[in-house]
Amino acid sequence: MITQKDIAEVLKSYDPKNITIGVLGGHSGLDVCHGAKKYGFKTVAVCQKGREKTFDKYYKTRSGGEDLLNPADGFQKSKGCVDEVILVDKFGDIVNPEVQDKLRAMNTIFIHNRYFWVYCDFDQIEKDFRVPIFGTREMLKLEERDIEQNQYYLLQQAGIRIPKIYSSPEEIDRLVLVKVNEELRGYERAFFMASDVNDYTKKSNELLSSKIISEENLKRAVIEEFVVGAPVNLNYFYSPLTDEVELMGTDMRRQTNLDGLLRLPAIEQMEVLKYTKPRLIETGHVAVTMKESLVEKAFEIGEKFIELTKREVPPGLIGPFALQGAVAAEEGREEFVIFDVSMRIPGSPGTRFTPYSGYLYGESLSYGERIAMEIKAAANQGKLAMLLT
């Protein structure tokens, strides 16, 4: 297991005035690289062959266009935001010694994201990846729902409301959402709704027969109460330097083919449903806002979650995280109900288009900018070790 002592040893060889910010080439990689460049860092993306053009071509750092940019002092003076690309046969090869050597030689601080934990093995990252990670590396596996003391446990321990969870289909007594991993893409979930055990059996059998899911994945599925409310993802940043939880922004998921179905009139929806089933595959996010009477409640649950993680998994969460759910209006009061936790940078760069970080810093910040700000401040103060695991 990589320890803080191991990371401290790596940091001894680093030049704190010549840090490179590293990402895996996907998910929030561009957001991170853009923010890093804005605050004067070099950037590197580790990309899988065949999926590298976004980073190695379209947003690669290059000269040209300076007259068009007319940059203000401190902003990038070239096009693009990805300085270096390390190509690997598959994303999981990032743990190979030669790749790690390249990253350490560049004084790389790695920003983990969903891609990192989908395509790489948890054990290998925890035990063999000797590159400093911004954030808490051992907490990412707690996003998984089939392990003990996972995100549901943490939410409950923190006193944050979650949907009712059913241990078997026979217990279903209201509309539920079933979350089961797909067979081909294990990182994606084949959601379906059911109102009772018969409905559950019918719909799960349809997915099994079409090979979208497997019997093994169905056994590990989560069956949770479907909460009727306005969906909202609360995107936070916890700074160990200031010991403050910040609300970076709010968004909601854009999902296919659900979004397409909802754009149709009801009569056409019924016709389409004869030939296809609704699926909730995430394809992006939409920036949303919430009324100010909910802001304090959002901060309260974010602070509760951070304090709980400090006790349960020291040092607790560091940097970006998200509590994803909905606002339910019941019995004359509004309450956040949280369905999912992201224990790393969320996937929506659109949070910068909501006003909450701007209320704090004067202008709205992207996650990439806020991460770069934190790393730059820690480097200047000689406190990088506080942020890295």
One DSSP character per residue, 161-193 reads ----EESSGGG--S-EEEE-B-SS-TTSB--EE
Residue 246 included in any domain: yes
DSSP state of 73: T
Straight-line distance from the first to the last Cα atom of the chain, in angstroms, rounded to the nearest whole number: 11
Residue 143 counted as domain residue: no
Determine, yes or no, domain membership for 145.
no
C-alpha span between 110 and 137 (Å, rounded): 11
Provide Rg for the chain, Cα atoms.
Answer: 22
Residue spans of beta strands (DSSP E) within the chain: 20-24, 42-48, 84-88, 108-111, 133-134, 165-166, 176-179, 192-194, 222-225, 230-239, 244-257, 280-287, 319-330, 333-342
Residues 260 and 336 in one domain: yes
Q: Are residues 175 and 254 in the same domain?
A: no
| Domain at 70, CATH number | 3.40.50.20
Q: Is the pTM of this model over 0.85?
A: yes
| 256 and 214 fall within a common domain | no
Shared domain check, 180 and 93: no
Average pLDDT of the residues of the chain:
91
Q: Are 35 and 126 within one domain?
A: yes
pLDDT at 187: 61
The string over 228-251, giving b where at least 16 C-beta atoms fall within 10 Å of a residue's C-beta and e elsewhere, is ebeebbbbbbbbbeeeebbbbbbb
Query: Which of the listed residues 225, 240, 261 is the one where a domain comes to its end?
Result: 225
Closest CA to 389 of 302, 305, 317, 320: 317
Instruction: Walk along the chain (389 residues) in steps of 10 and give the mean pLDDT of each run.
Output: 93 96 95 97 98 97 72 65 98 96 98 86 90 92 78 95 96 95 74 94 93 91 93 97 98 87 89 82 88 97 98 94 94 90 89 95 97 98 96
Domain assignment of residue 139, yes or no: no
DSSP state of 58: I
Residues 244 and 207 in one domain: no
* Residue 36 lies inside a defined structural domain of this protein: yes
CATH number of the domain within which 333 lies: 3.30.470.20
Residue 142 in any domain: the answer is no
Residue 44 lies in a domain: yes
If asked whether residues 215 and 235 sit together in one domain, one would say: no
Q: What is the pLDDT of residue 238?
A: 98
Output the domain CATH number for residue 182: 3.30.1490.20
Give the 3-state secondary structure of residue 288: coil
The answer to whether position 42 is within a domain reads yes
Claim to verify: residue 61 and residue 24 sit in the same structural domain: yes
pLDDT at 251: 96
* Cα 225 to Cα 171, 220, 343, distances in angstroms: 11, 16, 23
* Domain that residue 266 falls in: 151-158+229-354
- Statement to judge: residues 54 and 77 lie in one domain: yes
* Residue-wise pLDDT tens digits, 285-302: 899 999 999 999 999 999
**348 and 233 in one domain?**
yes
Going by C-alpha positions, the residue among 380, 207, 359, 377 that lies closest to residue 298 is 359
| 260 plus 334 within the same structural domain | yes
Asked which of 194, 225, 256 is the last residue of a domain, the reply is 225
Confidence at residue 117, expressed as pLDDT on a 0 to 100 scale: 79
Q: How many domains does the chain have?
A: 3
**pLDDT for the residue 122:** 83
What CA–CA distance (Å, rounded) separates 322 from 312?
18
What is the reported pLDDT for 69?
61
DSSP helix/strand/coil, 44: strand
210 and 328 co-located in one domain: no
What single DSSP character describes residue 267?
Answer: H
